[in-house]
Structure 1
Amino acid sequence: MKLSRFFDDLMAVYQAEIEDLKSDSEGKNVLKARLREKAQQLPLLLPMMDSNPEMLAPAFHQAFIFMNPLALEGVISKEAHQLPAWSALTKSVRLEPWAEALAKLVLKEEGGDRFLVIAAALEYLLRGHRGAQTTTPQSEQDEDDENCSDDDYDGDDGNVGRYGRDDGDDGDDRDLDEAGADWLVEQGFDRKE
C-alpha cells in the first residue's frame, strides 16, 4: 500500500511531537508523565482537532490494539477527505480500557470521529506495522545503536562503518579544544584564554 500525502506529512510532525515528549532538558525519559499531562489537557486541546491533530494524538499514544492491520493499510493510503468513519474500524482496531473515556470525550465533538481514525493511523505508522515500510522506526534504530559495537561505526581498516559516519580525522592533529576555539573565533566570539 502507498502512504498518502496527508499521512506522510502528518506522520513526520507526529513523530517529532512524540520525540519531543520523550525527554526533559536533562535527558531523562519523561514520556509517561508527559503523556498523562496530554491526556489531562485533551479537553483544552479539542479546538485544535481539525487543524493540528498531531497535537492531540499523543494523548492516544499506545491506546490502540490493531486486530486487523490490513484495515489500517487501507486507511493510510487515503487522503484526509477520504477517511472512513471510526465505526468502520471498530472491528479492526480496539481501544485500551484506559483510553475509552478519552475516546468518548473526543467523539462528542464535531470531527471527533475523523480524529480517532487519524490517531489510530498515526499510531499504526509509529509502531512500524507497515508491511512495505522502508524506514526503520526510531525505537528500533535506538535499539540498534545500543546493541552495536564500535566496529560497526569505524573499523581499523579505514572504512566508514555501517552508519556511514566518519571519525572526522582529516589528518589534522590539532587538539579538539583548540579546533573548537578556532571555530568559535571564526563565528565572531572572543578567544577564551
Structure 2
Amino acid sequence: MKLSRYFSNHARAYDAEMDDLVSDSEGKNVLEKRLKEKRSQLDFLVVMMDDSPEMLAAAFHQGFRFPSPKAMDLLVALEPEEFPDWDKLARTITLTPWAQAMADRVLREPTGEQFMVVAACLEYLYTRADDRGAALEDENEDEEDHDLDPEEQEARDREDAGAAWMEEQGFDPKPPKA
C-alpha cells in the first residue's frame, strides 16, 4: 500500500489523536468514554474539519466498514484534489447507523464530502496499522527525493554514481548524510 503525502502526514496526526483518547494519566483505558464525549461535540468539531481533520475524524472511530480493502488501498494513495465524490464510495465504505447520523450532519457542510473521504481513509489506515507502518517507511525513504528540484536531484544522482564508482575501485564507502 502506498500513501499519498497527504495521508502520510495526516495518519500520524490521527494516530496521535487516537493515542490521546485511549488512556488517561493513570493509564486506564478511557477510549469509549472519550469517544462518547467527542461525538457529543460534533457541532463544535465540524468547525475544525478542514484545518485539523483528525480531531473530528476520531469521532467516527469504529463507525466505518471497508468491504473492499483493495479499493481503500488505492484511495489512500490519492491527494485531496483527486478524491472521488463521497456518494461514489458506497461500495468501498459503509457506515454504522450511529456514524451515518453523524455523517449526515457533516455532509451539510461545504467541505463535508471531502472530509468524509479523509475520515474514512484515516480510520482505514488506523485499523491497518501494521501494513501502514511499512508504507510510511517507504514513503519516508522516498520523501527526500520528491522534495528536490530537478537540478538538485541530478547533482545528487551524480554524487551517488561517483561514490558507487569509488567503492568499486576499492575505496571505503562514503558515510551517509545525516
What TM-score do the two structures reach when normalised by structure 1? 0.66
Q: CA deviation at 1:2?
A: 1.7
Percent of aligned positions with the same letter in both sequences?
48
Q: CA deviation at 1:131?
A: 5.9
Q: Distance in 1 between matches of 2:127 and 2:59?
A: 15
| Cα 1:21/1:131, change in 2 over 3 Å | closer
Kindly report which structure 2 residues correspond to 1:9-158, keeping only aligned pairs within 5 A, or say none.
9-128=9-128, 134=134
| Cα 1:132/1:35, change in 2 over 3 Å | closer
Contact 1:64 1:95 in 2 (8 A): yes
Contact 2:125 2:132 in 1 (8 A): no
| Cα 1:131/1:26, change in 2 over 3 Å | closer
Which structure's residues are more often helix, by fraction? 2
CA RMSD of aligned residues (A): 1.9
Q: Which runs of 5+ in 2 are unaligned?
A: 136-178
Larger radius of gyration: 1
Segment of structure 1 superposing worse, 14-23 or 74-83: 74-83
Q: Distance in 2 between matches of 1:5 and 1:18?
A: 20
Q: Which runs of 5+ in 1 are unaligned?
A: 136-193
Amino acid at match of 1:104: D
Q: Distance in 2 between matches of 1:5 and 1:19?
A: 22
- The CA deviation string for residues 44-69 of structure 1, in whole angstroms up to 9 with x for no partner, is 11111111101100110011010111
Q: Distance in 2 between matches of 1:64 and 1:87?
A: 15
Write out the 4+ residue segments of structure 1 that deviate beyond 2 Å after TM superposition.
Answer: 129-133
Q: Distance in 2 between matches of 1:71 and 1:51?
A: 26
Q: How many residues end up aligned between the 2 structures? A: 136
Residue 167 of structure 1 is matched in structure 2 by none
Contact 2:23 2:29 in 1 (8 A): yes
Q: Distance in 2 between matches of 1:73 and 1:26?
A: 36
Kindly report which structure 2 residues correspond to 1:175-186, keeping only aligned pairs within 5 A, or say none.
none
Q: Distance in 1 between matches of 2:107 and 2:76?
A: 21
| Cα 1:92/1:129, change in 2 over 3 Å | farther
What TM-score do the two structures reach when normalised by structure 2? 0.72
